[in-house]
Amino acid sequence: MSPSTKKYDLVVAANRLPVDRVEGPDGEVTWRTSPGGLVTAMESVMKGSDGAWVGWAGEAGEAPEPFTADGIRLRPVGLSDAEVAHYYEGFANDTLWPIYHDVIVNATFHRYWFSAYERVNRRFAEAVCEVAAKGATVWVHDYQLQLVPAMVREQRPDVRIGWFNHIPFPPVELFAQLPWRRRVLEGLLGADYLGFQRVADAQNFVRACRQLLGLPTRADVVSVSRDDDARRVRASAVPISIDFKGLDELARQPETEARAKEIRESLGNPETLLLGVDRLDYTKGIGHRIKAYGELLEEDQVAPPREVFVQVATPSRERVAAYRDLRLEIEGEVGRLNGEYSRIGAQAIQYLHHSYPRPEMAALFLAADVLVVTPLRDGMNLVAKEYVTCRHDGGGALVLSEFAGAFHELHQAFICNPHDIEGLKQTIMAAIVTPEKEKRRKMKAMRRRVADHDVQRWAARFLENLEHAPERPERSTSEREADEAHATADRRARELHHARGPRGRH
């Protein structure tokens, strides 16, 4: 059978393929790893399986022919210029993204954006049905493809359909703003199982079905109609992770260790190297972090070259106005602080607007004494887990926002509320000055957590939930304990917010 007619027992559909097509000025085509956590996680899952990945190649135009990259069979979906603008930059990233991230910036609503979203979701569903073998498992990803589950079910009742949300699912009060809220919920209810990062996300979804669609719900299960024998869909938390073993091995390589040393030397061997690594996205709280660091510089609590801050800000969604504005704001502020506090040979903040190969990222993590992760809202934040994984030497400290999904697992981090600038400053200073022994204790516990809950375990749990849905699969004692710990962290986060209000003190 030729690869283009072959059918697959596992089909993954995500907005992006794991590689983006890049055409150079002379027409030469190269493929480069796509940005973001979804690709980081799913690439390692798919490498070991005989499955197909349906997705967009990252450039407007006709879909390239299906091909194989790094052992993964890829089935590209084409998007026209207008569809990139209306479906991807518009509805996905200027309507859904703000609503699903606490409306940090206002959401924009256009009916023609939703039409494009519907049309592109239909195209993805058709591509999935084309490559799925009879009875296949179809795993749909993220907010860009919420209509796909119902569209696939319409054509292929024989397949098993799961969907995983890499970002938060909003409380019903925010979700209700969406003019197409019914369509989105009905689209998702085409799945057999829906996976979310946090317990609260799954609960928000179930509540939205009850309140906005009037559907019967029981614990984490929604009935798709009021009939007694209605199909039932389960929604629960299954937090994503990373390839601990692969990254740990990379970080231990002599080349990575040598490069980490070289990075520190080139920065003047600071006593403390602080690092931020984020897509340049307004959800990541980069501005809050830089404001706090700027005040620490002003108060002389930190000063280069004793302390140096490196901010890697990966280019992202650069044609969306809110992202362009953010870039101007961040670069303006970094320039102002460097003008004020740098000296010749001693820069206060190093700002890098680039993507790097994985070995370079591992070396950066290994070199950093403190990683500062301050999202205002984030589904998980894999960067936090990557940092912990790279610190095989047991060193380093993690400052982590309570609004990142990772907070629910990495309890031993230096926890902060990024809206509370005074508190954030104190937390950064605590991460710098806490005795080494105490920091090592924290790092050890966090490493154990990530090692035990790696991406393979995440994928296995998701697929097991999908297989048994709407029932819960039998879980071992340690799995049940992990679920309970997660639910407790979720409850604790909500109690924390009740106690001091969502914005904290300034």
Binding site for ligand F6P (CB under 6 A): 15-16, 35-39, 142, 166-167, 316-317, 379
Nearer to ligand F6P, 21 or 444 (CB): 21
Nearer to ligand ADP, 18 or 37 (CB): 37
Chain positions 316 to 345 lying near ligand ADP, rule: CB under 6 A, are none
Nearer to ligand F6P, 309 or 458 (CB): 458
How many angstroms separate the CA atoms of 96 and 93, rounded?
Answer: 6
Our finding on whether 279 is near ligand ADP (CB under 6 A) is yes
In the stretch 283-312, what mask flags binding to ligand ADP with x, by CB under 6 A? -----------------------------x
DSSP state of 343: B
Nearer to ligand F6P, 93 or 236 (CB): 93
Residue number of the CB closest to ligand ADP reads 37
Nearer to ligand ADP, 35 or 246 (CB): 35
Residue 383 binds which one of ligand F6P, ligand ADP, none, with CB within 5 to 8 A depending on kind? ligand ADP
Nearer to ligand ADP, 211 or 314 (CB): 314
Nearer to ligand ADP, 40 or 217 (CB): 40
Nearer to ligand F6P, 144 or 412 (CB): 144
How many angstroms separate the CA atoms of 74 and 96, rounded?
Answer: 26
Our finding on whether 67 is near ligand ADP (CB under 6 A) is no
Chain positions 430 to 449 lying near ligand ADP, rule: CB under 6 A, are none
| Residue 37, C-beta contacts closer than 8 angstroms, at least 6 positions apart | 166, 240, 379, 380, 381, 382
How many angstroms separate the CA atoms of 154 and 177, rounded?
Answer: 27
DSSP helix/strand/coil, 235: strand
DSSP helix/strand/coil, 111: helix
Q: Which two tokens stand for residue 328?
A: 């101007």
From the list 101-109, 258-266, 376-384, 416-424, the region that binds ligand ADP by CB under 6 A is: 376-384
Our finding on whether 382 is near ligand ADP (CB under 6 A) is yes
As measured in angstroms, the least distance from the Cβ of 281 to ligand F6P is 8
Beta-strand relationship, 232-237 and 221-223: antiparallel
As measured in angstroms, the least distance from the Cβ of 312 to ligand ADP is 5
Count, in order, helices (H) and strands (E) of the chain: 18, 18
In the set 355, 426, 470, 485, which binds ligand ADP (CB under 6 A)? 355
As measured in angstroms, the least distance from the Cβ of 57 to ligand ADP is 18
Our finding on whether 406 is near ligand ADP (CB under 6 A) is no
368: left (phi over 0), alpha (psi -120 to 50) or beta: beta
Our finding on whether 36 is near ligand ADP (CB under 6 A) is yes
* CB of 486 closer than 8 Å to CB of 199: yes
**Residue among 236, 162, 144, 244 at smallest CA distance from 197:** 236
Nearer to ligand F6P, 142 or 420 (CB): 142
* CB of 190 closer than 8 Å to CB of 150: yes
**Residue among 130, 166, 131 at smallest CA distance from 145:** 166
Residue 16 binds which one of ligand F6P, ligand ADP, none, with CB within 5 to 8 A depending on kind? ligand F6P
Q: Which two tokens stand for residue 92?
A: 């996905």
CA distances from 444 to 109, 154, 386, 397, 438 (A): 46, 48, 14, 11, 10
From the list 355-363, 444-452, 471-479, 490-498, the region that binds ligand ADP by CB under 6 A is: 355-363
In the set 186, 201, 369, 386, which binds ligand ADP (CB under 6 A)? 386
Q: Which two tokens stand for residue 152?
A: 């696939």
Residue 317 binds which one of ligand ADP, ligand F6P, none, with CB within 5 to 8 A depending on kind? ligand F6P
In the set 8, 10, 17, 37, which binds ligand ADP (CB under 6 A)? 37
From the CA atom positions of the chain, what is the Rg in Å? 23
Sheet with strand 370-373: strands edge to edge: 349-352, 307-314, 272-279, 370-373, 397-401, 414-416
Summarize as ranges the residues that interact with ligand ADP (CB under 6 A). Answer: 35-37, 40, 277, 279, 312, 314, 354-356, 361, 380-383, 386
